[in-house]
Structure 1
Amino acid sequence: MRGDYYWIAVPDRWNGTLVVHAHGGPRTGAPQPDDPLDDLNRFAMTVREGYAWAGSTYRRGGYGVRMAAEDTDTLRQLFWDSFGRPRRTLLHGQSWGGNVAAKAAELYARDAEGKVVWDGVVLTSGVLAGGTRAYGFRADLRAVYQYVCHNHPAPDEPQYPLWQGLPEGSRMTRADLAERVRTCTGVGLPEAQRTPVQKRNLADILAVTGVEEDELVAHLAWGTFLFRDMVQRRLDGLNPFSNIDRVYAGSHDDAALNAGVQRFAADPMGVARLAYDADLSGLIVAPTLTIHGKADPTAFVGNEAVYRDQVAAAGRSELLVQTFTDERSHSALHAPEYVALFQAMSAWLDEGRKPTAASVAALCETAKARYGQACAFDVDFKP
């Protein structure tokens, strides 16, 4: 079933459980009708295993966790209205959609009559540190990159506070940004074609920020185009980021870096507005199961530690189980690992068997023959 901006798939042998998917990003372009098809293809194993699946775009591109959470709950209601209430309804969030799903689980856990809406929550590679803690490293990256490269903005362009992402009226594209990164660091060129200065510039940026080479352009793009959307459209131009007290280390001359880097202080109202939109309370009321690659280069595994501590502070740790794999991947882990998550959640809800990292890993071992992919769980890891 396809709508203007959503896709619903119900298998012939439906097990009675619906998976409502909150997609990642944020996608800064205008929503396209076929966007949910990419998400369905990525998580097609859910339908293959007998789950119904529903996914949508959000009402507009760009940042807005509460907006996306409301749209996700609206999709759930659309399915219920069209097909009847399923036996179980699971909420699934991937990447930034993990933040969206965790927020939706807090805001829409029960309906106006107190009845449960989301039976369980599955969060994969989630940005679970919330808005005020998940994006500061990209503000640091903008500051360090600009100190090293001096080309974003270039000296002959209008200068602006880097936390704005871009100034009003800018027509920069991602390709333009990639070219500037290539000029300064050689990223995109074979290593043999990079100059000594480019190699030193790249080494300094990566060492100080912890960003990996093949993710440098992507993280700078989020710190450019997403920051513009977040600050200008969500925060009324207020700054939610600060590097006033940051001590940068790892470059060939840290003293010069710390003396010369652009500094900026967060506006308290900017922080408050971002926290209201995107931070998480930890007050979960539905069983929640997560998975994260230990070497995730996009949403760092430390997001899980922040979320674990928030849930513990709220006194809800008994409802949270976290699992980790040895993968260096973000957008797609191994298919049988996802299968194991949803099977473990179903058993938790239907039979009261709270999963452990070891029990999820065992389910993966059973499922891997069907998908021809390995299981990479590290059952002893804790961030």
Structure 2
Amino acid sequence: MKFRRVGAVVVGLALAVAGLSGPAQAAGGAVSFAGPVDGHVRQGPVEHVEGVLPSGATYIFDVPSPWNGTVLLYSHGYTPKGAPNPAQNAPSPAVREALLAGGYALIGSSYADTGWVLEQALPDQVATLEVFGRQFGKARRTLAWGTSLGGMITTGLLERYPARFVGGLAMCGLQQGGVANWNNTLDPLFALRTLLLPGADVPLVRLGDQTTATASIAALTGALQAAQATPLGRARTALAAALHNIPAWNDPALPEPAPGDYETAQRNQARALGTTIYVGLSWRQEAESRAGGNMSWNTGVDYARMLARSSLRAEVKALYEAAGASLEADLKTLAEEPRISADPRAVAYIARNLSFTGRLSDPLMTIHTTGDALVPVQVQSAYREAVRSPALLRQAFVHRAGHCTFTVGEILAALRTLENRVGSGRWSGTSPEALNALAASLDTATPAYVHYRPAPYPRPFTVGRR
């Protein structure tokens, strides 16, 4: 195991957050974050340490002086195969600097590989925590937090390593777990192939290599684009989007569609479906290579029932009526289409890496944007239904388009609320009004926590139950 101390960096309390890249993307202003328990504010330098774990994963530590005794173990999101994979210890530079100013030690690893790396990520994160303890001593408290796939890793750390943490914050996470994720990613692609490319040989699973995945991506993307030219094609696109609960407003660069503006909603969903196709095939092929086969199935799935539970059912019905087409006929076509079965060993692999039991020993807070097309907000319903100790879970929702598009203040407010729960033994200040007031005191960007209850997740899965 190798490490090197890079040196001290001095940061101020006032931090510019405009132009952020990464998860915390919404526009903002100056932020500050004093320690929520003891008011500790750092005045000295930050010691920066980099190193390599035995697995080959890299890690980084940023430890301010003085340190308030709390360690935040950050889990980063999905990194595609071949992409740069540096160690990360915060979702954005502005969040990092605000927390260092509050006296928090920030740590995290790269994980030993890229792609669907859950098998390596959890032990690499725990190993990072152990190295930190040997170098800097025992923390007063350790919190897990992460974004996107890292939110999923955070939840897995709390379920599988409860003795090492006192709580966690999962942001925009895959709270439905791995099996449910790949099952529901299959559903919109199955609908697009069935309704837009009837009879075509377009593999959706058992992809073998990226060449096969790329060919399927091209076929489905072309059919999706062609479908936008006709009312029926647009209605069918909306049906596919509804099976994945892709929201009408999913791009923060675009205005939010007015209620009942289903044409604009469908146009936004069609754009997002292009990403769903890519993720559902290219990223799937990488995950299948790890799992040793196909981890998804739609045998026995009733798509009419899924549509009835979808938050988008009114839009789908309206667009079919506008097209003068029969929604029931298309649902019958889906019901009669030959189904896809899973490879049991691949399902077992993904269940291990990673699906959830719902067993929590420590408090977990989750936050999610309502306009997330990559990880639709309904994933939070899946975990709410799975959790065995509901009193330990709090879920909060931000009305904004995009994946992980939280303001700095929204993230800091959620983290402070979690730490208050850890310190007091009870939840407080979790209403949207309280979270917005706290976020506004920490960041000049306008916060957008709202009262919201997501629709049911289309196909939930917990370990031991299907």
Global fold match (TM > 0.5):
yes
- Which residue identity lines up with residue 275 of structure 1 in the other structure? A
Matched, 1:349 2:422: yes
Bigger drift between 268-277 and 176-185 goes to 176-185
Q: Assess, with a 3 A threshold, how the Cα gap between structure 1 residues 379 and 51 changes in structure 2: closer, same or farther.
A: farther
The alpha-carbon deviation at position 356 of structure 1 amounts to 4.6
Q: Assess, with a 3 A threshold, how the Cα gap between structure 1 residues 361 and 22 changes in structure 2: closer, same or farther.
A: farther
Q: Assess, with a 3 A threshold, how the Cα gap between structure 1 residues 366 and 272 changes in structure 2: closer, same or farther.
A: closer
Matched, 1:163 2:205: yes
The alpha-carbon deviation at position 65 of structure 1 amounts to 2.3
The alpha-carbon deviation at position 225 of structure 1 amounts to 1.4
Q: 1:371 aligns with which of 436, 439, 443?
A: 443
Q: 1:93-104 maps to which residues of 2 (within 5 A)?
A: 93-104=146-157
Matched, 1:220 2:277: yes
Bigger drift between 323-332 and 218-227 goes to 323-332
- Which residue identity lines up with residue 207 of structure 1 in the other structure? L
Contact 2:64 2:104 in 1 (8 A): yes
Q: 1:204 aligns with which of 225, 228, 236?
A: 236
In structure 2, list runs of 5 or more residues that go unmatched: 1-47, 53-57, 247-268, 308-315, 456-466
Query: Residues 266-289 of structure 1, C-alpha deviation per residue, up to 9 Å, x if partnerless?
Result: 334433332222111111111111
**Residue number in structure 1 paired with 2:376:** 300
CA distance in 1, matches of 2:127, 2:119: 12
**Residue number in structure 1 paired with 2:301:** 245
- Partner secondary structure for residue 413 of structure 2: helix
Bigger drift between 28-37 and 51-60 goes to 28-37
Query: Residues 162-219 of structure 1, C-alpha deviation per residue, up to 9 Å, x if partnerless?
Result: 123x33362765xx877656643339xxxxxx9724x753442233332323322221
**Residue number in structure 2 paired with 1:330:** 403
**Number of equivalenced pairs:** 356
Matched, 1:186 2:258: no
Q: Assess, with a 3 A threshold, how the Cα gap between structure 1 residues 184 and 37 changes in structure 2: closer, same or farther.
A: farther
Matched, 1:36 2:78: no
CA distance in 2, matches of 1:356, 1:163: 45
Contact 1:23 1:39 in 2 (8 A): yes
- Which residue identity lines up with residue 104 of structure 1 in the other structure? L
CA distance in 2, matches of 1:106, 1:39: 22
- Partner secondary structure for residue 321 of structure 1: strand
CA distance in 1, matches of 2:365, 2:341: 36
- Partner secondary structure for residue 54 of structure 1: strand
- Partner secondary structure for residue 72 of structure 1: helix
Matched, 1:62 2:101: no
Compare the two structures and name the one with the higher helix fraction: 1
Bigger drift between 14-23 and 205-214 goes to 205-214
Contact 2:193 2:220 in 1 (8 A): no
- Partner secondary structure for residue 67 of structure 2: coil
CA distance in 1, matches of 2:195, 2:172: 31
Q: Assess, with a 3 A threshold, how the Cα gap between structure 1 residues 202 and 354 changes in structure 2: closer, same or farther.
A: same
The alpha-carbon deviation at position 102 of structure 1 amounts to 1.2
- Partner secondary structure for residue 170 of structure 2: strand
- Which residue identity lines up with residue 205 of structure 1 in the other structure? T
Q: Assess, with a 3 A threshold, how the Cα gap between structure 1 residues 195 and 285 changes in structure 2: closer, same or farther.
A: closer
Contact 1:124 1:290 in 2 (8 A): yes
Contact 1:288 1:319 in 2 (8 A): yes
CA distance in 2, matches of 1:205, 1:128: 26
The alpha-carbon deviation at position 302 of structure 1 amounts to 1.6
- Which residue identity lines up with residue 264 of structure 1 in the other structure? I
The alpha-carbon deviation at position 228 of structure 1 amounts to 0.8
Identity of aligned residues (%): 22
Query: Residues 85-125 of structure 1, C-alpha deviation per residue, up to 9 Å, x if partnerless?
Result: 22111000211222211112122222xxxxxx111111111
Bigger drift between 177-186 and 13-22 goes to 177-186
Q: 1:52 aligns with which of 82, 102, 105?
A: 105
Matched, 1:73 2:117: no
Matched, 1:339 2:412: yes
Give me the TM-score of the superposition, normalised by structure 2: 0.68
**Residue number in structure 2 paired with 1:278:** 354
Q: Assess, with a 3 A threshold, how the Cα gap between structure 1 residues 10 and 289 changes in structure 2: closer, same or farther.
A: same
Q: Assess, with a 3 A threshold, how the Cα gap between structure 1 residues 66 and 241 changes in structure 2: closer, same or farther.
A: same
CA distance in 2, matches of 1:67, 1:246: 35
CA distance in 2, matches of 1:328, 1:169: 30
Q: 2:180 aligns with which of 133, 136, 159?
A: 133
The alpha-carbon deviation at position 354 of structure 1 amounts to 2.0
In structure 1, list runs of 5 or more residues that go unmatched: 111-116, 188-193
Q: Assess, with a 3 A threshold, how the Cα gap between structure 1 residues 19 and 146 changes in structure 2: closer, same or farther.
A: same
- Which residue identity lines up with residue 374 of structure 1 in the other structure? T
Q: Assess, with a 3 A threshold, how the Cα gap between structure 1 residues 83 and 361 changes in structure 2: closer, same or farther.
A: farther
The alpha-carbon deviation at position 40 of structure 1 amounts to 4.2
Contact 1:288 1:321 in 2 (8 A): yes
Q: Assess, with a 3 A threshold, how the Cα gap between structure 1 residues 202 and 55 changes in structure 2: closer, same or farther.
A: farther
Q: Assess, with a 3 A threshold, how the Cα gap between structure 1 residues 337 and 363 changes in structure 2: closer, same or farther.
A: same
CA distance in 1, matches of 2:70, 2:378: 31
